Structure 1
Amino acid sequence: MGHVSDGDQTDESASPQFEAPDRRSLSALPKAHLHLHFTGSMRHSTLLELAERDRIRLPASLTEDWPPQLSTTDEKGWFRFQRLYDVARSVLRTEEDVRRLILEAAEDDAADGSVWTEIQVDPSGYGARFGGITAFTDLVIDAVRDASARAGIGMGLVVAANRTRHPMDARTLARLAAQYSGRGVIGFGLSNDERRGDTTDFGPAFAIAERAGLALVPHGGELRGPAHVTQCLDHLHPDRLGHGVRASESTAVLDRLATDGVALEVCPTSNVSLGVYSTLEEVPVRTLTDAGIDVALGADDPLLFGSRLAGQYAVLRAAQDFSDAELAELARMSVRRSYAPSDIVNAGLTGIDEWLGNPPAEGADA
């Protein structure tokens, strides 16, 4: 499966394609970004610059062939995807690199209309280089605080465990996240290839995070089907589920999500790039919302998919003919289902109403 072209954009531009003169600017639409990975948020130009600085050789798929051709329908495909992610992680060598990445992610999201961004990181992937997982978490929290002030948007941190590691490691990270609850960390997640590991084994880690009052935001229902969504609901008690799109294959699971009030973080361009769906037209956003489920659009890993936050709204407008009213409602869902402070939520919702209430400007861009 090749990478998606509809709605792709270079990471130096916040403006998605497919804007018509009579459409409202999507980057002016207030929204929240609830599914963004730490290393995956890096600008492509920053990756190239840091790699050149330290003479790190990057594969062609991260240089002249960027964005890479990806598909994770089998384990070999996922391994290739993960290898590219690990190569990108390796260019982060200094505290200043970490601060730069987070600031640039905040600036890019602000340019795309985000009023609140939740960035997700697994500290165990960086602890060895940055003095341990606690020291690294301290650094990221401080960098998020600084970037939020400088970029003019709200930000929160999600600590995520890796489901390919031992569940005891997840408990360690859950206790770490709980330690920082109310001090920059707003949630606890679980990421990586959902076909690996036993989801039930991660229940105790999520129980720790739940007792600490953290948002529970694991991945599920992307590479595995609706039965795995049910397993996540039963054992991890999520407030939101990362992806979750495969729930659309079961009316019973859709009903369960709606009844339980679990929101889904849907990332259209990554779903197509990773081979979950063949085309953007197939991403079942309307099926999910018609079932009464809140959907928050996210960019997942812009570094690997070549499309940022506003691009997710642009591809639904282009590929599925979403109206401005429908896009505004998706933005409302993202803001309402965020863990932003109430003043940011209220201001964001007011801004969305104002965006929809104003007629489109002649020649409006994204």
Structure 2
Amino acid sequence: MRDLATLPKAHLHLHFTGAMRLDTLTELASSTRSRLPASFLEGDPLRVPADRRGWFRFQRAYDTARALVDSEEVMRRIVLEAAIDDASEGSRRLEIQVDPTSYAPFVGGITPALEVVLDAARQATVLTGVEVAVVVAASRVRHPLDARTLARLAVRYAGDQPGSVVGFGLSNDERAGSTSSWAPAFDIARRGGLASLPHGGELLGPEHVRAVVSSLRPTRLGHGVRASEDARLLDQLVRDGTSLEVCPASNVSLGVYRQRADVPLQTLLQHGAQVALGADDPLLFQSRLTDQYQIARDLGCDDVTLAELARGSIRASLASPTSKRTWLAQVDDWLADEPSPQAAA
């Protein structure tokens, strides 16, 4: 078995506050004398059932962390540390997802909030060698009109270089609201050249995936694992070229599956789905990018399959064709190298 931390890969599903290091969170809490939930202090992954009460517990923990992100300095720190952590795990590309509304009160509005993240992404790219791009995400628990405002803002900063906005997403509890209500915002983003990157198919099943596909026309689907319950739907996603951002540790922590062995990764791969593994919210779930590949290995993926998962993440990224060719060749090199005795052990 080869070292998974050296496998070249892209990281396409990582939320801004959820990317924070636990040490950073505890430092911020200490400096402001803020009280943290026991799940943070004990250092154990947050685990909640996949019901509304469980989601409330997750969201409360997330909001506690987000409340400590109250300055430009902290925002920049999150981006840089996320890129450093990704670099240590073989990531060549990070597409970090942010709703600037959450941080606007501390930096003068949603435009300055987004500009801070974009500038930090450019600096992190230079300092770490990881290409950092940004996905602007609306929230299902806010009004769809707010999403249109965010979409227009995201389009203003659209580009194909690191430190640009490359996609528009929709996150938070997918059971909230009517999916079609966000279609106008996604139309704005799509006309402005942004990829459609909504969440769907985690807490809700195939029918909701169909609604997301029909209304929002995703380029990639955040999570999407519940599509495995309907072979015809999964085949449609494959035909449409819709990649799935699968986050195994998150699925278990949020009660979608009882244990890691239940995550239907093999089903997705056997149907030919292009899968990009992601960490989602490592701050809460205490499981980073390489851990997701280890879970895949534990689920029966050999190194050839793991290399194909890495290729899938690279192909599904919104990086330039030149960068993709370089990284895909590096994956081939990783697979061609014999595993070291330490890695095999």
Instruction: State the TM-score bracket (shorter-chain normalisation).
Output: over 0.9
Task: Name the structure 2 match of 1:38.
Answer: 16
2:315 is equivalent to residue 344 of structure 1: no
Match of 2:151 among 163, 169, 174: 174
Displacement of 1:67: 2.7
Structure 1: which amino acid aligns with 2:267?
T
Displacement of 1:316: 1.4
Task: Name the structure 2 match of 1:282.
Answer: 262
Shift in CA distance, 311/68, structure 1 to aligned 2, threshold 3 Å: closer
Matches within 5 A, 1:21-60: 23-60=1-38
2:341 is paired with a residue of what secondary structure? coil
Question: Moved runs in structure 1, 4+ residues, more than 3 A?
Answer: none
Matches within 5 A, 1:22-171: 23-63=1-41, 65-171=42-148
Match of 1:271 among 251, 263, 276: 251
Displacement of 1:93: 2.1
2:339 is equivalent to residue 360 of structure 1: yes
Conserved in 1, the CA contact under 8 Å of 2:47 and 2:252? no
The count of corresponding residues between Structure 1 and Structure 2 is 342
2:134 is paired with a residue of what secondary structure? strand
Displacement of 1:242: 0.1
Q: Deviations over 1:65-117 (max 9, x none)?
A: 22344224211111110010010011112211111111100000010100000
1:36 is paired with a residue of what secondary structure? strand
Conserved in 2, the CA contact under 8 Å of 1:72 and 1:81? no
Q: Deviations over 1:176-233 (max 9, x none)?
A: 1111111610000000000111001000000000101101100000000000111011
Distance in structure 2 (CA, Å) of the matches to 1:68 and 1:24: 26
Shift in CA distance, 205/365, structure 1 to aligned 2, threshold 3 Å: farther
Q: Deviations over 1:253-272 (max 9, x none)?
A: 11110111100000000001
Task: Name the structure 2 match of 1:17.
Answer: none
**What 5-or-longer segments of structure 1 have no aligned partner?**
1-22
Conserved in 2, the CA contact under 8 Å of 1:116 and 1:344? no
Name whichever of 83-92 and 234-243 sits farther off: 83-92
Task: Name the structure 1 match of 2:177.
Answer: 197
| Identical amino acids, percent of aligned pairs | 56
Displacement of 1:363: 0.6
Displacement of 1:365: 8.0
Task: Name the structure 2 match of 1:18.
Answer: none
Structure 2: which amino acid aligns with 1:151?
T
Distance in structure 1 (CA, Å) of the matches to 2:237 and 2:18: 28
Displacement of 1:341: 1.8
Structure 1: which amino acid aligns with 2:25?
L
Distance in structure 2 (CA, Å) of the matches to 1:164 and 1:291: 33
The higher relative CO (CA closer than 8 Å, separation ≥ 6) is in 1
**What 5-or-longer segments of structure 2 have no aligned partner?**
none
Name whichever of 337-346 and 271-280 sits farther off: 337-346
User: In angstroms, what is the RMSD of aligned CA positions?
Assistant: 1.2
Distance in structure 1 (CA, Å) of the matches to 2:45 and 2:221: 26
